[in-house]
Amino acid sequence: MTELTRALAFAAEAHANQRRKGAAQEPYINHLIEVLDLVARATEGDDTDLLIAATLHDVVEDTSLSAAEVAAAFGERVASIVVENSDDMSLPKDERRRHRITTMADKSQAARIVKMADVISNLRAIVVSPPAGWSADRKLGYLEGCRQLIDAGRGANATLEALFDQTAHDVECAIRDQAAFEIEGHAVAVRHLENAVGQQVHLIYLPNTGLRTLTETDLDAFCQILARVFPSATVQQADAIYDGRRRPILLARIRTDSTDAIVAMAQRLCITFDERFVGVEVDGRYVRIYADDTA
The residues carrying an active-site annotation are: 61-62
- Do 21 and 293 touch, CB atoms closer than 8 A? yes
- Do 170 and 123 touch, CB atoms closer than 8 A? no
Other beta carbons within 10 Å of 167: 21
Other beta carbons within 10 Å of 8: 18
The CA radius of gyration of the chain, in Å to the nearest whole number, is 21
Tell me which amino acid residue 142 is.
Answer: Y
What distances in angstroms separate CA 218 from CA 55, 183, 242, 269, one per listed residue?
Answer: 39, 41, 19, 11
How far, in Å, CA of 33 to CA of 55, rounded? 6
- Do 47 and 91 touch, CB atoms closer than 8 A? no
Tell me which amino acid residue 182 is.
Answer: E
In b/e form, how buried is each residue of 115-143, taking b as 16+ CB within 10 angstroms?
bbbbbbbbbbbbbebbbbbbebeebbebb
Torsion on CA atoms 276, 150, 134, 225, rounded to nearest 10: 30
